[in-house]
Structure 1
Amino acid sequence: MKNVSRRAFLKTLGAAGGLTLSATKLLAETASDLPRVLILGDSISVGYTPVVKQMLEGKAVVSRPAENCQGTKLGIQRIDQWIGTEPWAVIHFNFGLHDLKHVDPVTGINSNKPDDPHQSDLKQYEANLKIIVERLKATGSKLIFATSTPYPDLPEGPYRKAEDVLKYNEVARKIMKKNKIQINDLYSAVLPDLATLQLPSNVHFKPEGSRFLAQKVTAVISAVLPS
């Protein structure tokens, strides 16, 4: 092998470094040109968002708030903060699982008592969700609403009846239909394999469940991304 002088070696290394910096700059510029996607939702979306980011790498920049978006009560308080000032090509959003849980009527803390009220009853959920939808429509972004995922009757944690998610999803469906907003029916998608994909007696999902949901979310987002 031919010997290489130290000077020549340093020159080669410097050239390589220059290429690396150029490549890094190019990647940053490319990322800035990609469509921006915002995911809003509770801990179910917290579970699938990292996988969606991986699946859409190179196609879109995917973000979500650095917090659990919880229910519509928090949503109407934080929606402007979550949206920010930069434009979004697509906003994929969901609210419901926190609204339908039961809470202490005085403290608002999660309750396992069936006689305690929902965080937001159906009427309040509808009113809150309408406010959120109007704010999201004002962004001009492509909007996609995800139905709340199913769970076994009376899972661990705050009191939740399995039938309630159907009622809340139906209210949401009517709002989305009226506003011509696309629906990503995660409820129906995951229901057939719920026992396999979801943690036992829980609203949350196993890693394979989050990946399954991420595939469904990625598919609907990919279909509407600007070319």
Structure 2
Amino acid sequence: MKKGIISLVCLAIIAMAFRQDKPKKLFLLGDSISMQYSPFLEKMVKGKYTIIRKQDDGEGMQNLDIPKGSNIGNSRMALSYIRYKLADGKFHPDLITLNCGLHDIKRDTATGALAVDSAEYRRNLTEIVNIIKQKKIPMIWIRSTQVVDSIHKKNKAFIRLATDLEAFNAIADDVFRKAGISVLDLYSFTKNMGNRRFVDHVHYDDDTKELQAAYIAGYLEQWEAVFK
């Protein structure tokens, strides 16, 4: 009898020694920038986080300027999608990272009108905060990456301006910091690398995408230490 108990205890100790915590679910919502660093990030956080995104059969990568599939688009689209997901009582990730802004600041080439003006942008972000807080899901806001006017002018379909990007980032900073939500400054991190990293008007080369992922992975480690 004693041998049987000892054997069970030994097996339990061995099982505990080799047990790994189940990876947490990280729901990553963002535009095409996040789509591009996501594969690198998945590898870096493997075992700690399982990254889930809006479902995509590849259509999001067909044209990075048109929000489809995993590309969450502007803040209006992000709010609509978050309402849809959180209406499902089974949806409760351990953490949400969110970014939207680059599609909000698109200007029509004929009228100059913003896709989403600054007042609506603030309202949309505020509503997103309220919804996610009601569900008690931790969240990190990721600041939108840089627009360089001289580079973006090569894109003829629509206009983006650096001044708009900076203004919208400031609005987001205000909304999320007042709400006590962590702000990950991917904008400054990427900007400090210089302008040679661009492969088109706003997207980056593979080295930069990998460095962005490493920066985010490192931030998650620090965030976990403070908020776990």
Please state which band the TM-score falls in when normalised by the shorter chain: 0.7 to 0.9
Matched, 1:132 2:121: no
| Structure 1 unaligned spans of 5+ | 1-28, 103-110
**Paired-residue identity, %:** 24
Per-residue CA deviations over 1:51-102 (Å, capped at 9, x if unaligned) read 1111011111111112210011111211133455332221111111011111
Contact 1:48–1:213 (CA<8 Å) still a contact in 2? yes
Higher Cα radius of gyration: 1
Instruction: Tell me whether 1:52 sits opposite 2:52 in the alignment.
Output: no
**Unaligned 5+ runs, structure 2:** 1-18, 56-69
8 Å CA contact retained: 1:37, 1:88 = yes
Task: Work out the CA distance in 2 between the residues paired with 1:44 and 1:139.
Answer: 27
Residues 62-77 of structure 1: matches in 2 within 5 Å?
62-66=51-55, 67-77=70-80
Task: Give secondary structure in 2 for the equivalent of 1:193.
Answer: coil
Q: TM-score normalized by structure 2? A: 0.76
- Select 2:100's aligned residue among 95, 108, 131: 95
Q: 1 CA distance for matches of 2:159 and 2:194?
A: 19
Letter in 2 for 1:131: E
Structure 1 residues 179 and 219: CA distance shift in structure 2, 3 A: same
Q: Is the 8 A contact 1:65 1:82 kept in 2?
A: no
State the 1:197 CA deviation.
2.0
- How far is 1:223 from its partner? 2.5
- Aligned equivalent of 2:30: 41
TM-score by length of 1: 0.76
Letter in 1 for 2:145: T
| Superposed counterparts of 1:134-213, under 5 Å | 134-153=130-149, 155=152, 156=155, 157-200=157-200, 202-213=201-212
C-alpha separation between the residues in 2 aligned to 1:63 and 1:30?
20
Query: Residue by residue, what CA displacement relative to the aligned partner does 1:139-169 show, whole Å, maximum 9, x if unpaired?
Result: 3222110111002106124201111110000
Q: Quote the RMSD (CA, aligned, Å).
A: 2.0
- Code of the residue aligned with 1:163 in structure 2: it is T
